[in-house]
Amino acid sequence: QGCDPFAQTQRSKLQHRRARINQQINKEMRMRAGAENLFRATSNHKVKETVALELSYVNSNLQLLKEELEELNSSVDVYQNDSESISVPMIPLGLKETKELDLLVPLKDLISEHYGEEGVLFEKEIKEFMELRQAMRTPSRNEAGLELLMEYYNQLYFLDSRFFPPTKSLGVFFHWYDSLTGVPSHQRALAFEKGSVLFNIGALHTQIGARQDRASLPGLNQAIDAFQKAAGAFNYLKENFSNAPSLDMSATSLNMLVRLMVAQVQECVFEKVTLLRTQHDFLTWLQLAQEAARVEDVYSLVHQTMTQAHVKDYVPFSWTTMVHVKSEHFKALSHYFAAVALCDCPAASDAELPEQEKAFIQFHVTMPEGPSLRVLLQDPEERRKLGKAHLKKAIMKHEEAMRIHGLCKILRKMDILQEVLSFAHKRSLSKYSEIDHEEDFFETGDAPDIHPKTHQKPEIKSPNFSQVKVTDLFHRLGPLSVFSAKTKWYPARRVHLMRGENGFGFTLRGDSPVLIAGVIPGGCAAEAGLKEGDYIISVNGKDCKWSKHAEVVQLLKSTGEEGVEIGVITL
């Protein structure tokens, strides 16, 4: 079951508005296509002018609709959790919308033409499949919703094998809307339907990840798991489904989404390290600084990917801004933690020195100017100087993060992010005034950047389709090894046989369906026209497509004087 699409939860209201905008975009695009065709076809100057005016209206309407959709796609707060503690918001994806699909007539026709069965007898199965498709349009935002999408995805394998011959089209179009722009696309290929469902599996994982309470360890672990699985779904889509007609499923977009998910995992790992920290010693602060630098590193990569030519105009501005803000924010944090390690922890004793030296050698990207490591670690004044340089850099980066945040109208409405940025900025400022001496006459140097390092690398977890077991809805058509869309056979024929001295005159082998292995020349089977390689599909009207060898032999043995009627097909 899907969740009730009419239940007015925050998310379903969002999906409703998204669906409404998608329909309006669809309408405007049809009008635009019509106007463009007329513009090209007419030579009348007056008509051309009118059409050009109409086109400019349509284009500005489309622009407004796309902006409205972008604002919806940036409603990250709807997907966040409701806990009291402050967590930086994560970016979730909205699900792709699709149109309803009526398969009743095309599947019934194919069952009659290809399988030689009465299509009407399979109406129950076809309706069950369509109900499953209807339900997967509105999956609930939990494990049950994911299982529903997986179940439908796995059913598509059977649908493909049964009803999509390689040479002929079924004549149905699968319509899906782009997750970010709402632009409609359609294709006859079932691969588009499969890819879109896979995209929604990834998107649903992002929503589950974004709603976890990351102030607790179980919540953090669930968020990490969800974002890793989202990255896996988008990566699997990128590697297995090329040529998708919609932009959100292009290789460049999927590459960006995988990187974004990996960055969100890395951010959760940083939060986990912060949460589990029990000591406040020098080495722990250095570890925190390096974890923060690692988060900055991955967000910078996402920001570069988002500002590439093909992706830039397509990704919501609020996403690009948020990613940029996070990369500056975590860079600031890495410098702040470095300063705390240097200024708040006592200078190294002779016993601690070797371990601290070893950690500090790999701490900076380039070695800081000034005295040797040993002097630096044991001289409180030298530690304060370098700490002050790190704080100066931290404050600059905090201010940069707040400046970028202020440029985006949508992010300005996001109080949580504002709060986190301003808290971190104030904390660095107060630490700076605490260690700043009035008699400092030295010029504060430029602190080198911190070398990124993490103790938990994000994994890209590919979808595990086998975890949701499904049975073929169209099982009654017979075993797929024979009864599939790509196999052709002559119409089934019924043959009446009488038992002779040598039995019926043929030998059998194999199971489901049982095969005629040999026909004895001159026997009654040979006279009735049975051939080696024919499959037995019924005995005396009883369907035998799924029967085992022993069952068919038993049915044949139990026939009396009147003989037996068997149904066979020849490939």
> For 312-335, how does the pLDDT look when each residue is reduced to its tens digit (9 = 90+)?
888 888 899 999 999 999 999 999
CA distance 78 to 207: 10
What does DSSP assign to residue 517? E
pLDDT of residue 193: 94
CA distance 260 to 233: 13
CATH annotation of 489-570: 2.30.42.10
- CA distances 345 to 280, 339, 349, Å, are 8, 10, 11
pLDDT of residue 272: 94
Is the sign of the CA dihedral 120, 125, 131, 134 positive or negative?
negative
Beta bridge partners of 450: 364
Q: Are 192 and 172 in contact (CB under 8 A)?
A: no
pLDDT of residue 84: 41
Q: Strands, DSSP E only, in 181-290? A: 184-187
Using a 10 angstrom Cβ sphere, with 0-12 exposed, 13-18 middle and 19 or more buried, the burial of residue 503 is: middle
Q: Are 325 and 405 in contact (CB under 8 A)?
A: yes
Class of the 10-75 domain?
Answer: mainly alpha
CA distance 29 to 172: 21
> Which of 100, 92, 105, 106 lies closest to 135, judged by CA?
100
Please give the model's pTM, rounded to 2 decimal places: 0.84
**Complete DSSP assignment for 78-116:** HHS---SS--------PPPPB-----HHHHHHHHHHHH-
**Tokens at residue 316, please?**
């919501």
CA distance 203 to 232: 11
* Domain edges within the chain: 10-75, 81-276+459-472, 280-457, 489-570
CA distance 570 to 211: 57
Using a 10 angstrom Cβ sphere, with 0-12 exposed, 13-18 middle and 19 or more buried, the burial of residue 168 is: exposed
The arrangement of secondary structure in 81-276+459-472, i.e. its CATH architecture, is Alpha Horseshoe (1.25)
> Which of 310, 450, 303 lies closest to 366, judged by CA?
450
pLDDT of residue 15: 65
CA distance 2 to 95: 13
Q: Using 50 as the pLDDT threshold, list the residues of the chain that sit under it.
A: 8, 82-84
CA distance 516 to 505: 10
Degrees (nearest 5) of the Cα angle 459, 464, 467? 135
**Tokens at residue 155, please?**
């059913």
Q: Could you give phi then psi for residue 500, rounded to 5 degrees?
A: -100, -165
Using a 10 angstrom Cβ sphere, with 0-12 exposed, 13-18 middle and 19 or more buried, the burial of residue 118 is: exposed
Q: Are 431 and 391 in contact (CB under 8 A)?
A: yes
Q: Strands, DSSP E only, in 438-526? A: 493-497, 506-509, 514-519
Name residues whose C-beta falls within 8 Å of residue 191's C-beta, 6 or more positions apart in sequence: 241
What does DSSP assign to residue 364? B
What does DSSP assign to residue 503? B
pLDDT of residue 82: 47
Q: Where are the alpha helices (DSSP H) in 345-467?
A: 353-361, 373-378, 380-406, 409-412, 415-435
Q: Could you give phi then psi for residue 357, rounded to 5 degrees?
A: -60, -45
pLDDT of residue 445: 75
pLDDT of residue 74: 59
Q: Are 536 and 498 in contact (CB under 8 A)?
A: no
- Segment 103-148, tens digit of pLDDT: 999 999 989 888 888 889 999 999 999 999 999 998 988 899 999 9
Residue written as tokens 């975009």? 25
pLDDT of residue 89: 87
- CA distances 223 to 207, 217, 268, Å, are 10, 10, 7
**Complete DSSP assignment for 136-201:** HTS--SSHHHHHHHHHHHHHHHHHHHHH--SSS-----EEEE-TTT--EEEES-HHHHHHHHHHHH
**Tokens at residue 480, please?**
């797929």
Residues in the chain: 571
Q: In Å, how far from its chain's centre is CA 16?
A: 21
**Tokens at residue 187, please?**
């294709």
